[in-house]
Amino acid sequence: MSVPPESIEVGKCYLMETGHVRQVRRIMPDGRVQFESRVGHQRNPGAWKPGMQSGRSFADLIEREVPCDWTPEREG
**Domain presence at residue 16:** yes
| pLDDT of 1 above 80 | no
Domain assignment present for residue 22? The answer is: yes
Answer yes or no: is 42 within a domain: yes
3-state secondary structure of 6: helix
Tally the domains of the chain: 1
Q: What is the pLDDT of residues 2-31, one digit of tens each?
A: 789 999 999 999 999 999 999 999 999 999
* SS3 category, 13: strand
Q: How confident is the model at residue 63 (pLDDT cuts 50, 70, 90)?
A: very high
Question: Domain containing 55: what range?
Answer: 5-68
Report the C-alpha gap between 23 and 35 in whole angstroms.
5
36 lies in some domain:
yes
Domain for residue 73, yes or no? no
Q: Write down the pLDDT at residue 23.
A: 96
The pTM of this model reads 0.88
In a domain? residue 21:
yes
